[in-house]
Amino acid sequence: MATSMSSTENAAPTNEASRQVEGLFRNHSPVQREGFRKMVRIMWNMVFHKPSDTRPTAPVPVQPLTQAALIAAPNHSVYRLGHSTVLLKLRDKFWITDPVFAERASPVQWAGPKRFHQPPISLEQLPPIEAVILSHDHYDHLDYEAVLKLADKANYFLTPLGVGDTLIKWGIDASKVRQLDWWQGTEVDGMQFIATPSQHFSGRGLFDGNSTLWASWVMIDGDTRIFFSGDSGYFDGFKRIGEQHGPFDLTLMETGAYNVEWPHVHMQPEQTLQAHIDLKGRWLLPIHNGTFDLSMHAWYEPFDRILALAWERNVSITTPQMGEAFNVMYPQRGNAWWSGVEEETEQTAPQSA
C-alpha cells in the first residue's frame, strides 16, 4: 500500500486499529450482511416505488460564494457546499471535506442520483486548499473529476487506508497523500487531524467491496475542535471518540439517506443526536442531506426531524443554507430554509377541480 510523507502516531495504545480479514476491512461492531433477496427488494423499491417527495420541486436556496469573499472571511468560518462537502477556514487556510461537485453521485453522469442544486462556488473559483479530507470512497463522497481538478489546487489529501492508493492511481502526487488507520493522526500547518472509526463500508464497483477503509475525522486547531462524521451507523465508537478527543465545538454529523432497511450503516436522526451527545458536541451541523436523493424519505425530512429532536433535548443546532457562513466562534442557529421551498411548491402546484 502506497503511503505518504505523513508523520503518524497512534492516539492511544488502547485504541484498536482497523481490522482486516483476508484483505478486507471490517467494522469493530458486527454488522449484519444483507442477503441477496433483501438487496433486490431494496433496489426494486428505490427504482419503482419512490415517493414523490424525495426530491424538491422548487429551487433549493443557495448563497453564492466568491473566492474574494472567502479570502476576506474570518477564521473559523464554515460553509456547506452540498451533501457532505464542507469548506472550513482555519489558520488562514482552507480545508474541504468529501468534495463532490459532480452533477450525479454515480459512476456515470447520465444516470444515478442528480443534484438538487448547484454548488455555491465552482471548483475553479475555490481558493487554494491546504488539505482535502476524505471519509471513504463512495460516489457521493469521492468525486473523480473533483479530485483531478484539486490535484494542483490542494497541498494534501488526507484519507483512510487504501483510499489514498486510489488517488495515486488517478494521478495525484503520492507526496501529497497521507493515509491513516483508525486512531492515527497527522499534522498539517499546525492543524491536527486524527482518523477515527466509523461504522460503514466501502466500494466503487461490484468486486472491490471493503477493500479500502472508511473513517470519521477529528480536527484540532489550538483550542478549537471539530468532528466530521463521514458516513456511519450508530455505535459505541462515538462515545470513545468523545471521551478521548472531545468536547467538540462543532460536529458535522450525517443526517440523511437513512432507512430502516440499512440501520447499521446510516443513522436515524435520533441516533445522530445521540452520537453528537456522545461526542460531547456543543453545536451540531447536520450534513449528508439536501443535495442528493439517496433513500425513500422526503428530502426535507432529515432537517425537520433533527431540528425537532435538538429543540426537545436543548441541543444547539445550526442549519445554514448552502453557501451561508457559520462561524464556530460566533455560532448562530440559521433558519428553516427548507420550509420555504415546500411552501413555494405548494403555491405553484396546480389546483385540482
Overall average pLDDT of the 170-189 stretch: 98
Residue 239 or residue 16, greater confidence: 239
Overall average pLDDT of the 143-160 stretch: 98
Residue 175 in this model has a pLDDT that exceeds 80: yes
Residue 320 CA to residue 326 CA, distance in Å, equals: 7
Residue 349 in this model has a pLDDT that exceeds 80: no
- β-strands 9-10, 248-254 pairing: unpaired
Give the pLDDT of residue 11: 45
Mark residue 91 as left, alpha or beta (left: phi above 0; alpha: psi -120 to 50; beta: remaining): left
- Opening angle at CA 191, ends 242 and 89, nearest 5: 95
Residue 344 in this model has a pLDDT that exceeds 90: no
Which long-range CB contacts under 8 A does 308-312 form with residues at least 24 apart?
309/269, 309/270, 309/273, 310/273, 310/284
pLDDT above 70 coverage of the chain, percent: 89
Residue 351 in this model has a pLDDT that exceeds 70: no
Residue 348 in this model has a pLDDT that exceeds 60: no
Residue 308 in this model has a pLDDT that exceeds 90: yes
Give the pLDDT of residue 22: 87
Give the pLDDT of residue 345: 59
**73-98: pLDDT as tens digits:** 999 999 999 999 999 999 999 999 99
Overall average pLDDT of the 88-110 stretch: 97
Of the pLDDT bands very low, low, confident and very high (cuts 50, 70, 90), residue 37 is: low
- Predicted TM-score (pTM) of the model is 0.93
Give the pLDDT of residue 4: 45
Residue 6 in this model has a pLDDT that exceeds 60: no
Residue 68 in this model has a pLDDT that exceeds 50: yes
- The DSSP string of 137-191 is -STTT--HHHHHHHTTTEEEEEEETTHHHHHHHHT--GGGEEEE-TTEEEEETTE
Catalogue all structural domains in the chain, each as residue range(s) with its CATH number: 61-348 (3.60.15.10)
**330-343: pLDDT as tens digits:** 999 989 999 999 76
Of the pLDDT bands very low, low, confident and very high (cuts 50, 70, 90), residue 19 is: confident
Of the pLDDT bands very low, low, confident and very high (cuts 50, 70, 90), residue 57 is: very high
Residue 151 in this model has a pLDDT that exceeds 70: yes
Cell of 200: 460503514
Task: Provide the CA 263 distance to its chain's centre, in angstroms.
Answer: 18
Decide: 253 and 287 in contact? Cβ < 8 Å: yes
Give the pLDDT of residue 350: 53
Sheet with 93-97: list strands edge to edge.
177-180, 154-160, 129-133, 93-97, 85-90, 77-82, 325-327
